[in-house]
Structures are given as C-alpha cells and as structure tokens.
Amino acid sequence: VPLPVWSPSRPCLSVSDPQWYAARQSIRLDPKGKSLKDEDVLQHLPVGTTATFYFRDLGAQISWVTVFLTEYGGPLLLYLMFYFRVPFIYAPKYDFTTSKHWVVHLACMCHSFHYLKRLLETLFVHRFSHGTMPLRNIFKNCTYYWGFAAWMAYYINHPLYTPPSEYTTILTTLYIHHLVRSKTRKIPYPTKNPFTWIFLLVSCPNYTYELGSWFGFTLMTQCLPVAFFTAVGFIQMTVWAKGKHRSYLKEFRDYPPLRSPILPFVL
C-alpha cells in the first residue's frame, strides 16, 4: 500500500508541539528544494531504502478563502463609501449627495459587479491547490487592493469630477475561471462558449479578460489612479501568466505552440 509522505490528517509534529499544525509544515527532500505535495507517496520519490526529510516552518497560515474574501470585500465596501459620499470624506455640504454624471454611476456598478463576481468565484468557483497562505501576506494584499480602491473611488466620486466624452464597457472573466477550476492538470481548450475561444491564442485568458476590463474602466473614467492600477495589475498578471505558461510547456509536450501567456502574439 503506498505510504503518503504527508497528510493534513496525520498529527506528525503537531503531536509533540501544537504550534506545528499541518498547514504550516513543509516537508522536503532537499533543504532548498520544493515542498512535497500531500498526495506524494514514498514509493514514487527519488530515494533509496533510506531517505532524509527536511522540515521547514512556513509560519502562521490563513486560508485562501479568508484571504480572498477580505481582499475583495474591502474594495467593494470602500468604493461604496465614496460613492454614497459618507461624512468626513468630502466637504460636509456633499454628505450623502449623488453625482450628476451618469458615468459615475456606471463606474460604481462596474466596480461593484467586478468585486461581487470575485467574491462569488471565491465561494463557489475557485479550487485551491494549497489551502493556506502565510498570514503576513494578507496585510500586503489588502494594502494593495484597499488602497487602490480608495484612491480610485476618491477621484471618480469627487464632487468636482468631470467625466470623459466617450466610454467603453467592462468584460467578465467568470466563465474562464469556471473552465479552469478543476484540480486535475490538463490542457484547457476552447468550448462552444465564445468567451473561451481566446484559449486558441493565450494560456491565461482570465488575465487577458481581466486586463481588458480594467483597460475599459480606465477609458471610461479617464482617471489617473485607475490607469496606474491597471498598469501595476498588468505587470503582476504578466508575471503570473508567464509562470503558468512555462508550467504548461514543461508539463505537456503537446501543448499548442501558438499560444502566448497573456497577449496574443505579443506577450
């Protein structure tokens, strides 16, 4: 019977010291190597009759679901606070007033829909290969999402905000997230849904659509903080997309050669 190297249900080190709970334990064959997966078995590892395993403390952990709900719930609430102009944000005479520009209301609907979609994806769509992440990361991530949301919302909902002359619409990535939700590693291919056809050209269409939505939001609001957020997001999503693209190429020999990481034929 294959013997698992590690399973969260096994007490292991946590028996001798409760602080080493399962999620913060990393077991490796090499001190500088990658952590062994929960499903790895001893018989399939590159070891002989004896093996040395190295333990590393990953630090305090927090579930990915909690992280995402916090990351995405904050921007949603913060933006609405600026949209409804709650007291102490703008001058008192503007408290609980509404903008006369319809683009401001459209921007609020698009922004709210975007983060509501992300919250619903977190609860019902996403599947996480690792159940937790370091607790310290939530402060960094929340600073990024919450800070940019407040910065954008302040200017878009400002009483003196002047809307642009032309607008565009916002794209959605819900179906793409649903298509790649499985934990089973396989090459994603287009389906009958038109939103998946971009899989013919890119490895990470969810990032492509995400970039397109924020680019559209930038054109619609023509607000500098939104443009800056889009640029920073594009850089980060490009890093993630390239990493996933390399992973696909390494794992699947028959991976479609025409696909780019995030932008067709470009990047």
The domain spans of the chain are 13-59, 60-162, 164-267
Report the pLDDT value the prediction gives residue 48, as an integer from 0 to 100: 66
pTM exceeds 0.85 for this model? no
Banded model confidence at residue 39, pLDDT cuts 50, 70, 90: low
Q: Is the pLDDT of residue 167 over 50?
A: no
Q: Identify the architecture of domain 13-59 in CATH.
A: Roll (3.10)
Question: Largest Cα–Cα distance in the chain?
Answer: 78
Element (H, E) at 104: helix 102-124
pLDDT higher than threshold 80 for residue 80: yes
Q: How confident is the model at residue 116 (pLDDT cuts 50, 70, 90)?
A: very high
What 121-130 contacts at long range (C-beta under 8 Å, 24+ apart), as own/partner pairs, is 121/174, 121/177, 122/65, 122/68, 122/69, 122/72, 123/65, 123/69, 125/174, 125/177, 125/178, 125/181, 126/64, 126/68, 126/177, 126/181, 127/181, 127/182, 127/183, 128/64, 128/65, 129/183, 130/64
pLDDT band at 82 (very low <50, low <70, confident <90, very high): very high
**pLDDT for the residue 185:** 59
Looking from the CA of 8 toward its CB, the CA atoms found within 13 Å total 7
Which residue did the predictor score with more confidence, 105 or 131?
Answer: 105
Task: Please give the Cα distance from 38 to 40 (Å, whole number).
Answer: 6
What is the predicted pLDDT for the residue at 252? Answer: 85
Closest to 106 (Cα-Cα) out of 170, 155, 160, 51? 170
* Span 204-225, pLDDT tens digits: 888 888 888 888 888 888 889 9
pLDDT above 60: residue 5? no
Per-residue model confidence (pLDDT) at position 171: 39
What is the SS3 assignment for 102?
Answer: helix
pLDDT attached to residue 175 = 46
Number of residues that this document lists for the chain: 267
